[in-house]
Structure 1
Amino acid sequence: MASQDHQKRILHFFKHLAYVTHVALPEDERDPRLKKLGRLHRGTLFSCFHAEHLEEAKELYEALYKAKDFNDFYHLAEEAREVVNEGLYVFAMTVAILHRSDCDGIIVPPIQEIFPDRFIPAESLNRALKADINRTSQEPVVVEIQETGNIFDPEYHLAYFREDIGANAHHWHWHIVYPGTWDPEVMHITKDRKGELFYYMHQQMCARYDCDRLSTGLRRLIPFHNFHEELEGYNPHLTSLVSGQNYASRPAGLSMKDIHECDVQDMIRWRERILDAIHIGFLYDDHGNEIPLDAEHGTDLLADLMESSYESKNREYYGSLHNWGHVIISQCHDPDGRFKENPGVMSDTSTSLRDPIFYRYHRFVDNIFQELKASLPPYKQSELDFTGIDVVNVTVNAKAPNLVHTFFAEDQLELRHGINTHGSVKVKYHHLDHEPFTYNISVENKTGAEKDSTVRIFLGPKYDELGNHLRIDEARRFYIELDKFHAKLSPGKNVVTRKSSESNVVANKTPNFDELEGGASSDQFCSCGWPNYMLLPRGNHKGMEFELFVMLTDWGEDHVGSLSDHHVCHDAFSYCGVKDQKYPDKKPMGFPFDRVIKARSIAQFKTHNMSFTDVTIQFKEH
């Protein structure tokens, strides 16, 4: 465990990065490990989707990771701060800190406090800075966040979701835990099922987004599918402090255009090659060998191609469909760079969730994964069954049974660590939240012996946007995972209880700068995971009906490891895995909703170790 001294020494590296001014060290005066770095100019928006940016970030985090001891790491990080791009620096430093053993327990402060300009609209930042200049005391200055749209744009109704600070921070952190350039031979750690996690985490974000679309009266996502289609407009209202320029807006009607590094035709070619691999059941590696896209490894292999990551079996042939899609969309307003504009928010993992096209594009990506899933046989009853275990009843207990209320809660973001101010300046904003609730699961164990079970909990919409009852195979892609945990079952009747706050898809709250300077520490804060306050969809004022799905499976067949395992950073393992360990569930991610369901009704699909319960989510404005 790192000392408090290490924690405090690290913190200043992340303060006021937008204001670091210097004369860059000449290459011959630098540490030899940094001589080739600094290629991405300071003030440029770093993108972990851009191949050249990623390569330089990889060189830096590998150099930091291989530093001989903490002091060597510290001095290398200190010099790198004066040499490399600001965003690239934070990305590489965070990757290195998360994976160096002598940095265990060091917590990187929240990305939203390091770069608040990525999360707070420029108008609000401007008001905050004016209020700071005109302050009359050292009391914290608090300004209200300003809205970025209105009801003329239907997507405005989802602004609370897309522009949520915690959701965007989660996306940034996920790509820190699973950088596309991760080389297991250099880093001495294999990221287990990294590709499959890429597929599943993004699939779940789309499912959550669709549940909230239905909650607000909007239709489900229309997937992006045509590389020449006209795109919807979007204005993020963000200004980058490191560049002094706005994140570009996208007027409605623009489409993807060739950029210097990648043509749209390349994207079309890569998509067809990937679909061909799915339809013939195997891909070709870079030596021409056939690698089967089977049930066990197919999703993982396909995701490595799609992203594309270091593990891609044949990047030259299958390309980098996902990453270049983000980059090209972010530059469609200035594809050849003639106006020297910033890219749009799709270029950055900490901002891309703000743009409606993110979800449409990821539904397109997910549709390709679903082609692979459709090639696999549906689960047999024997694969779904847990012999001798009956789920008798499930109740969600909040203030009223099977009724949970959602609402908007108030929070504040401190700006002074990312922006030069005379004192504390905070932006007040609202985010979706829900009342606490508990699952009560009545289970009968008829085996006559104690059994260890995996409890899997999902939530899905009951009706589509027209009020039609969703068939189970149609609904399965909208089911969101709420929790997955181990439970012991004694012979006979059991009641398994679980609090919503214990969910394994949400992250523990990351301590902020002030708390870290005050001594907060833990080995559990890895910051990867969905925000706990957004565990549930919004629902509507009337009360929206959902299906709560609970399934118990045999933990002895599911689990990787032992009952006594203690893991660091396991609080959101369904989306983020377990730090430097095997993914602790042998089942495919999203099981049992990851494959086509032939049953036409819940009754035909359901086995005795499953339960479907009607649950209502009611949104209250105040």
Structure 2
Amino acid sequence: MTVKEKQARLLPLFEKLTALTHERIPEDQLDPRLKGLAHLPRGTLFSCFHEEHLEEATHLYEILFGAKDFEDFMILAKQAHDLVNEGLFVYAISVAILHREDCHGVVIPPIEEIFPDRFVSAETINHAVKEAANHPDKDIVVKSEETGNILDEEYKLAYFREDVGANAHHWHWHIVYPATWKPLVMKQTKDRKGELFYYMHQQMCARYDCERLSIGLQRMIPFHNFEEPLEGYAPHLTSLVSGLNYASRPEGFSLRDLKDVDVQEMIRWRERILEGIHLGYVIDSTGTHIPLDKDHGADILGALIESSYESKNAGFYGSLHNWGHVMMARVHDPDGRFQENPGVMSDTSTSIRDPIFYRYHRFVDNIFQDFKLSLNPYTKEELDFPGIEVVNVTVTAKVPNLVTTYLKEAELELHHGIDFGTTHSVKAAYKHLDHEPFAYNISVENKTGGVKTATVRIFLAPKHDELGNLLEPDDQRRLAIELDKFVYELAAGKNVIAHDHRDSSVTVSKIYTFSQIQAGEGVHEDGSESCSCGWPEHMLLPRGNFKGMEFHLFVILTDHDQDAVEGATTKGSCADAFSYCGVKDHKYPDSKAMGFPFDRHIVNHDIHGFLPSNASVTEVKIKFTG
């Protein structure tokens, strides 16, 4: 069977899931392997942060992964489609498809078209329903309604928090790296999974603060007190699966005990993790001391904090990250007496819409930074690449070292996920941030007399704080966003590296729409595929401002012979955004700490004093043109 034939058989399982009925398969017709599932009722919002939800989803994706061949897999998938919770089904089958060998080349349709109600406001969907009913013989395009207004300063950042591609990336990351991934069952180890959890979310926080500075807001204040009153938030989303709105959070509410976990446990888990960092080790479930060293400490902590299956001691250190999401999603109805939907923090495809997501993840990141402070700052020898000098760096755009950003029109197809009672297209038109094409032009002198292979690392960080003061290098490093990382062979003497922004190692190269996948696009018979994991290309740069916001562009070349990892590659499937998402089925292709050299404390008060000759800092501007 060809990959295209498999794709054609799988696609219908992802259509019109918001319109499924609650009828159950008769027990005598159910495959025995699926018995014991369907604890989470249909019409309930699934959360991969909730322990019980995730336990059932894990059970299902392991069953689907273990099917003996593709036909057996299809039998199980079709029955699961008619049996289990809608959101749980999509999560579990997506994990299984991504990792089954006989599904290599198959593309998972975009989550924004499977459940468009998670990405488009309730007002917009209501408008689309009316237009489709009034014009069933026409293709419909409705304008997305804006949510909120200028009375809320966070409204200015809606373009970032509600970006379709950014929200989809967060969902896809969590299916590439499920918290409950068991290497022995799934026959594959997720290399540096805990460190990727830390780094990907740290970068999202850095990006959010860059956006805040772009529009004149101060950097966010991290969540830090489990009893603090939280800001209000209204998502304007309705779940068509449940028929209820995603809950709003009134201003001033604080975390409350749930039936599954209480606030005191969260405080206790945080203190135990911090104590482990300060002692330099954590204690596993057998009482053994596991050192938090420079090579594995971030990975161990990532598994501990999430907490994932790899946690050294989930019973002692708990599940700080996951239960934090659930608690914040339930702050309005903690004991369930009103049977309200949770808020958007309960779901990976909606949580980054909420401002508290970034404040909470900055709180989580501060724990990792406590660990990073326990490591010595990088020495000149650790940063140096002897004989290699970066002479000059220019960003080539219409105007050198000035890149413009703007808002661009786009459309999201709704009819694959919502039954409008018509066969015609129904789309929502919206705007997203974008930027002009640009490239890096890097002049390098190789004085070693021979060929050298370099890892080129490119970061961007704002030059000034919210008051217009120059940022200290140690503050600036927390705001540094990775733009690219690639390998380049340097000839002896002078070299000019020209590199296009579209080849970035943090952005996903292409997202195929449902209709494109139906037409066979993106489906490869050679087994290569896209995992749709990666930051959206149109969001690679911060917005900047009308004046032209000043940033520092950092370029550092390191010795690839020292960076290389045995058996690693950047050429495999699902490898286009390896900085954030790794490379599927392979080791992470860089031996250095993620975020190097900005992952550790910088003692220099002058950024030029911190950087060796194999690095460069260039002033660039980003101008928002509206």
Short-chain TM bin? over 0.9
Which residue does 1:83 correspond to in 2? 83
Please state how far the C-alpha of 1:22 moved relative to its aligned partner: 4.9
Asked if 1:491 corresponds to 2:492, the answer is yes
- Indicate how the Cα distance of structure 1 residues 248 and 435 shifts in structure 2: closer, same or farther if over 3 A, else same: same
Asked if 1:588 corresponds to 2:593, the answer is yes
Does the aligned pair in 1 maintain the 2:180–2:308 contact within 8 Å?
A: yes
Which residue does 2:317 correspond to in 1? 318
Alpha-carbon distance in structure 2 between the residues aligned to 1:369 and 1:26: 49
Asked if 1:152 corresponds to 2:151, the answer is yes
Which residue does 1:122 correspond to in 2? 122
Does the aligned pair in 2 maintain the 1:199–1:369 contact within 8 Å?
A: yes
Which residue does 1:437 correspond to in 2? 438
Alpha-carbon distance in structure 2 between the residues aligned to 1:27 and 1:39: 14
Q: 1:548 aligns with which of 550, 553, 557?
A: 553
Please state how far the C-alpha of 1:73 moved relative to its aligned partner: 0.2
Please state how far the C-alpha of 1:3 moved relative to its aligned partner: 1.8
Gaps in structure 1 of 5+ consecutive residues: none
| Mapping for residues 412-451 of structure 1, pairs under 5 Å | 412-421=411-420, 422=422, 423-451=424-452
Aligned AA for 1:494? Answer: N
Please state how far the C-alpha of 1:407 moved relative to its aligned partner: 0.2
SS in 2 for 1:618: strand
Which residue does 1:39 correspond to in 2? 39
- Indicate how the Cα distance of structure 1 residues 323 and 236 shifts in structure 2: closer, same or farther if over 3 A, else same: same
Alpha-carbon distance in structure 1 between the residues aligned to 2:376 and 2:8: 54
Aligned AA for 2:17? Answer: L
Aligned AA for 1:534? Answer: M
Please state how far the C-alpha of 1:29 moved relative to its aligned partner: 3.2
Which residue does 2:195 correspond to in 1? 196
Gaps in structure 2 of 5+ consecutive residues: none
Q: Cα deviations across residues 305-338 of structure 1 (Å, max 9, x unaligned)?
A: 1000000000000000000000001001000000
Aligned AA for 2:353? Answer: R
Report % sequence identity.
64
Does the aligned pair in 2 maintain the 1:181–1:310 contact within 8 Å?
A: yes
Please state how far the C-alpha of 1:36 moved relative to its aligned partner: 0.8
Asked if 1:255 corresponds to 2:263, the answer is no
Please state how far the C-alpha of 1:559 moved relative to its aligned partner: 1.5
Which residue does 1:170 correspond to in 2? 169
Q: Cα deviations across residues 96-116 of structure 1 (Å, max 9, x unaligned)?
A: 000000000100100000000
Alpha-carbon distance in structure 1 between the residues aligned to 2:568 and 2:123: 52
Alpha-carbon distance in structure 2 between the residues aligned to 1:22 and 1:324: 28
Please state how far the C-alpha of 1:380 moved relative to its aligned partner: 0.7
Please state how far the C-alpha of 1:23 moved relative to its aligned partner: 2.4
Does the aligned pair in 2 maintain the 1:28–1:35 contact within 8 Å?
A: no
Which residue does 1:344 correspond to in 2? 343
Which residue does 2:263 correspond to in 1? 264
Which residue does 2:331 correspond to in 1? 332
Aligned AA for 2:517? Answer: L
SS in 2 for 1:383: helix
TM-score of the two chains, using structure 2 as the length reference: 0.98
SS in 2 for 1:189: coil
Does the aligned pair in 1 maintain the 2:239–2:246 contact within 8 Å?
A: yes
Which residue does 2:463 correspond to in 1? 462
Q: Cα deviations across residues 523-579 of structure 1 (Å, max 9, x unaligned)?
A: 231100000000000000000000000000001110124798631110000000000
Corresponding pairs, count: 620
Please state how far the C-alpha of 1:30 moved relative to its aligned partner: 1.3
SS in 1 for 2:385: coil
Which residue does 2:405 correspond to in 1? 406
Please state how far the C-alpha of 1:137 moved relative to its aligned partner: 3.5
Which residue does 1:53 correspond to in 2? 53
Which residue does 2:515 correspond to in 1? 514
SS in 2 for 1:275: helix
SS in 1 for 2:276: helix
Structure 1 residue ranges (4+ consecutive) displaced by more than 3 angstroms after TM superposition:
26-29, 561-566
| Mapping for residues 315-394 of structure 1, pairs under 5 Å | 315-394=314-393
SS in 2 for 1:155: helix
Alpha-carbon distance in structure 2 between the residues aligned to 1:267 and 1:517: 46
Please state how far the C-alpha of 1:18 moved relative to its aligned partner: 1.3
Q: Cα deviations across residues 283-304 of structure 1 (Å, max 9, x unaligned)?
A: 0000000000000000000111
Alpha-carbon distance in structure 2 between the residues aligned to 1:2 and 1:236: 42
Aligned AA for 2:604? Answer: A
Please state how far the C-alpha of 1:509 moved relative to its aligned partner: 1.9
Alpha-carbon distance in structure 2 between the residues aligned to 1:564 and 1:281: 32
Please state how far the C-alpha of 1:150 moved relative to its aligned partner: 0.7
Does the aligned pair in 1 maintain the 2:568–2:589 contact within 8 Å?
A: no
- Indicate how the Cα distance of structure 1 residues 472 and 525 shifts in structure 2: closer, same or farther if over 3 A, else same: same
Aligned AA for 1:122? Answer: A
Alpha-carbon distance in structure 1 between the residues aligned to 2:469 and 2:32: 65
